[in-house]
Structure 1
Amino acid sequence: MNPPLELLKGKKGLIVGIANEHSMASGCAQAFHDAGAALAVTYLNDKARPFVEPVAQAVGAEIFMPLDVESDAQMDRLFTQIESRWGRLDFVLHSIAFCPKADLQGRVVDCSRAGFATAMDISVHSLIRMVHRAEPLMKEGGCVLTMSYYGAEKVVDHYNIMGPVKAALESVTRYLAAELGPKGIRVNALSPGPVMTRAGSGIAHFDKLIDEARSRAPEQRLVTIEEVGAVAVGLVSDQAKAVTGNIAYVDAGYHVMS
């Protein structure tokens, strides 16, 4: 793909959820960088750092800090550093989802209370906590992106409890868009088709899901993390100032098929 124009020149953005160079968030980070943005990048813990640091270096991250979204203290330190270093924040990418394996790979009706609470807290409420801290730094408006999936709208085999969790995430996206719109802060969700990422590999029979997406999508192919990144750039740029509360499908058209 051709590199994007410098649509984000001068903008400051936070990227949360890079697992490695193959993750959706990595594709977005590279696209943001290529479009001229300065970036802050986080990693979960010391175990994750070696996989995230090469991505942070490749995009010239000006801030690189640990962030476990279950830790309010770590999140506070991150946003304090952003305020100290930049004094503002123009966009945030929230690309985080987690569910304990037993609950993720079991039926929805069998999901444990603890597993459901964990999935909702990390995958959904973490976005609310993040936006709560980002809002004061977006004095002149901004954009928040989160990462959803078609399983939020329709039942997808083996996606299980993450379907209801992503549905909640999409609803939160709409409510945040309504609440923050008067301040010029836009909130949208990306809904990419399946890509072979570490997150996807946790879903049972993921290979079958990949094959179905490839065969049934109108374009009869899978999307790439670079293509997801290109859409992300457009959404956080000033060219999309009238776009908020949307679910942006990047799935080669799969979501239009019955």
Structure 2
Amino acid sequence: MALAVDLKGKVGLVLGIANEQSIAFGCAQALRQAGAALCVTYLNDKARPHVEPLAQRLQAELLLPCDVRQPGQLEAVFAAMAEHWGKLDFVVHSIAWSPLDELHGRLLDSTAEGFAQAMDVSCHSFVRAARLAEPLMQQAGGGTLLTMSYYGADKVVAHYNLMGPVKAALESASRYLAAELGSSGIRVHALSPGPMPTRAASGIEQFDQLLDKGRHHSPLQRLGTPEDVGHLAAFLVSDLGAHLTGSTLFVDAGLNIMS
């Protein structure tokens, strides 16, 4: 008998949808197709016209603004979910940002301010989301927290620069959160997609070459897709993934194993 991912009755938050090519949207699609109810966010008024039609396609029950750099916005999202659902089963955190001049410069030349901004948005916002999610997930009897990393957290990737150490911190944070939250039945994973042609990744210098290398050098001779990431996210959120936590899981057609 075939196993199927069934998320009916589960409710969750997807942070980071920018457009149809977003990894966050790939995750949201898979979660919704499996039966989950969603809250999705948009960065600001400029971004809303791009995200709102996608939220409608997803039949999202909540569509809320969330710029984690703005005090109180992330907290307001969780307050709205607490009022609407009274519980929470999962969070998908797909947010990363660095000042562009810092991203394009050497790590050696990064400023304390730029490094702190990148770390706050790309890493500590996940910790904040986990803290806010904890009481709502306890109401649900447990839950799953997912964040997005990249191979550059573990190996040096040309032009990834400042974001390499930031993503390494994110992966480490996910492991510590898994250890701290496990007794509450809350599971935590970092997913590590390979290079994908998303708007966020387009800020990396010579990104087209990175895509070509990934496509030709991976064992499967292709790139992973946001839909691939979504399928893994849905599995991990489901009861089928109930005994897994603390992992960094690659969705890159095997690129990470190649020298």
Q: TM-score range by the shorter chain?
A: over 0.9
Match of 1:234 in 2: 235
Q: Distance in 2 between matches of 1:171 and 1:195?
A: 23
Deviation at 1:78, TM superposition (A): 1.1
TM-score w.r.t. length of structure 2: 0.97
**8 Å Cα contact 2:5-2:234 kept in structure 1:** no
1:104 corresponding residue in structure 2: 103
Corresponding residue number in structure 2 for 1:129: 128
Is the CA contact (8 Å cut-off) linking 2:145 and 2:186 kept in structure 1?
yes
Q: Distance in 2 between matches of 1:66 and 1:182?
A: 32
Q: Deviations over 1:124-180 (max 9, x none)?
A: 010111111100001100000000000000000111110000000000000000000
- Residue 198 (str. 1) matches residue 189 (str. 2): no
SS of 1:130 mapped into structure 2: helix
- Please say if 1:116 is aligned against 2:128: no
Do the aligned partners of 1:12 and 1:91 also contact (CA within 8 Å) in 2? yes
1:6–1:34 CA contact under 8 A, matched in 2: no
Q: Is the 8 A contact 2:5 2:235 kept in 1?
A: no
Q: Is the 8 A contact 1:42 1:66 kept in 2?
A: yes
Distance 2:183 2:79 in 1: 25
Q: How many Å apart are 1:77 and its aligned residue?
A: 1.5
- Could you tell me how far 1:224 is from its partner in structure 2? 1.4
Task: State the shift of 1:5 in Å.
Answer: 4.0
8 A contact 1:106–1:160 mirrored in 2:
yes
Percent identity between the aligned chains? 59
Query: Take 1:132 and 1:217, find their aligned partners in 2: how far apart are those partners?
Result: 37
- 8 A contact 1:40–1:62 mirrored in 2: yes
Deviation of 1:6 (Å):
4.9
Could you tell me how far apart the structure 2 residues matched to 1:48 and 1:187 are? Answer: 28
1:33-52 matches, within 5 Å, as 33-52=32-51
Partner of 1:161: 162
1:251 is matched with which residue?
252
Gaps of 5+ in 1: none
RMSD: 1.0
* Equivalent residue letter for 2:208: D
The offset of 1:114, in angstroms, is 1.1
Alpha-carbon shift at residue 55 of structure 1 (Å): 1.3
Distance 1:184 1:243 in 2: 11
Contact 1:15-1:25 at 8 Å conserved across structures: yes
1:218-229 residue pairs with structure 2 within 5 A? 218-229=219-230
Equivalent residue number for residue 73 of structure 2? 74
Q: Determine the C-alpha separation between the residues in 2 that align with 1:76 and 1:97.
A: 18
**Could you report, residue by residue, the CA deviation over 1:164-203 in whole angstroms, capped at 9, with x for unpaired residues?**
0000000000000000000000000110111100001000
TM-fit CA distance, 1:98: 0.2
Does structure 2 retain, via aligned residues, the 8 Å contact 1:193–1:251? yes
Structure 2 residues not aligned, in runs of 5+: none
SS of the residue aligned with 2:134? helix
For residues 21 and 4 of structure 2, what CA distance do their matches in structure 1 show? 23
TM-score where L is the length of structure 1? 0.97
Within 5 A, what are the aligned runs for 1:144-155? Answer: 144-155=145-156
Q: Is the 8 A contact 1:170 1:247 kept in 2?
A: yes
Give, in angstroms, the shift of residue 75 of structure 1.
1.7
Q: Report the equivalent of 1:186.
A: 187
Cα gap change, 1:99/1:62 in structure 2, threshold over 3 Å: closer, same or farther?
A: same
